[in-house]
Amino acid sequence: MIGLEGKTLAGRYRVDAQIGRGGMAEVYRGVDVVLDRAVAIKVLTERDDGERDRFLREARSMARLNHRNVVAVYDAGRSDGLSYIVMELVEGRTLGAIPAQELTVHTALRHYIEILEALEYAHASGVVHRDVKPANVMVVEGGAVKVMDFGLARRATDMTTQSNAGEIAGTIAYLPPERFLGKPADARSDLYSVGVMLYETFTGTLPFKSETEDLIAVIFAHVNEPPPPPRTVNRAVPPEVERIILRLLEKEPDQRYQSAREVADALRALLAPGPAPASEGAVRAAAAARPAMNPDTRRAEENARAMLERRFGKSRAVDVGYSETLAGMLATRKRDYAEASRAYKAALAAFAEANNEIERAKTALKLGLMLLQKLDEGAHTERLELREGADLLNDALPSLRGRAMQRELAEGERVLYALQRYLVHLR
């Protein structure tokens, strides 16, 4: 923590109290003493030159946006060695903090229409948000919506097919498949994230999650698995809303809605005079079937944020580890075992460099499972690679045991036993 309370930046912005904290910045309530107005002051805590450049990109992206549903940026600069952004002070609750029993279908859809109007404006200005999630949507008193924290936004023309060291920024639970595959991201990527949010609002759970808190499994599901239809989770979801959600969650961007306006128009049609698409109590029905603050949702959010904070720390090796693990999972699915083996070994080396024992152990388990799949299919397998896989898994088991990860530990012991039996057979 920087601890800026009571200081004045650039001789103009008095810092009063901290109101938020993220992986690379702290947010304070403050006062512009020249204009005598309350402001929010976001101060960069990361001193890396790359992060400073990214922070300035955020300021430039946000400063171009002037819309009733977008948090306004007033100023940006440096003072006493600190980089800062001065923004509109927005007080209220994030969308994710509103208990479901307070939402009717009508109010929920109105919130999302305003979110989409903000994104439509940003996209028309050439800005892709890249981090759309409930925590970045504020609902102020009176019900108006403000989309904030374009901290990961980039000019649409800056998007490329390359990622930095496998960089996957943002909150994992809400990111589109193309972000994990290193493909270009555009406005339709933000729409996928809106689809995840809608799914969560109407069902009380995320479309893709891991009961074992394995973030790589969540990434794999985003890329490969269809989401459970919302009405299989909550029968009170209107069929028309379900159709919109599932189209937003299409894996291929070309199969989604192509613009925020198109989605907003589809939601407006549900609010038009005429037969209601479903009872006003549909979202309340979802709340009745679950706790108002779903613990799985909260845990997924916290885990993803913790992972991002680790990954944007001093070492970039863990970035490579996650990227290569995903590559190994995809190669295993395609039965390209040579590529899977290469990717998993690269991931193991990267996690070892980052001193991330638990992810290294999980990756060793995935390598072992790949070898068993290869053996079960009768593919030629060298005794040396079996021995290497068994040794890596044997070394990994203490880490799983030490973290009380009973499910992974049991699976690891089963896989190790099977590999050892194959080794005996191959003698």
What domains does the chain contain, in order, with CATH numbers? 8-88 (3.30.200.20), 92-307 (1.10.510.10), 315-425 (1.25.40)
> 92 - beta bridge partners?
140
- Find, among 237, 247, 252, 272, the residue nearest to 194 by Cα: 247
Question: Which residues have CB under 8 Å from 213's CB, separation 6+?
Answer: 299, 303
**Is 341 in contact with 367 (CB distance < 8 Å)?**
yes
What is the spatial distance between Cα 188 and Cα 255, in angstroms, rounded to a whole number? 10
Residues 6+ apart with CB under 8 A from 302: none
How far is 229 from 203, CA to CA, in rounded Å?
A: 10
Residue type, 284: R
Whole-model pTM: value is 0.72
Task: Write down the residue that tokens 């295993």 correspond to.
Answer: 332
What CA–CA distance (Å, rounded) separates 306 from 370? 28
Active site positions, annotated: 131
pLDDT at 295: 47
Distance CA 357, CA 398 (A): 10
Region at 258 (left for phi over 0; alpha for psi -120 to 50; beta for the rest): alpha
Question: For residue 48, what are the CA distances in angstroms to 45, 244, 320, 332?
Answer: 9, 41, 19, 37
Distance of CA 335 to the CA centre of its chain: 28
The pLDDT score that the predictor gives to residue 48 is 65
Written as tens digits, the pLDDT of the chain (427 aa) is 567 888 899 999 999 999 887 667 789 999 999 999 999 998 887 666 677 777 777 787 788 889 999 999 999 888 888 889 999 999 899 998 888 778 888 999 999 999 999 999 999 998 899 889 998 999 998 889 999 887 656 556 554 444 443 344 447 889 999 988 878 889 999 999 999 999 999 999 999 987 666 777 888 889 889 999 999 999 989 999 999 999 999 999 999 999 999 999 999 999 876 555 555 555 655 544 444 434 444 444 444 444 444 443 434 677 678 778 888 888 888 889 999 999 999 999 988 888 888 889 999 999 999 999 999 888 888 888 899 999 999 998 888 877 667 778 888 899 998 888 888 876 6
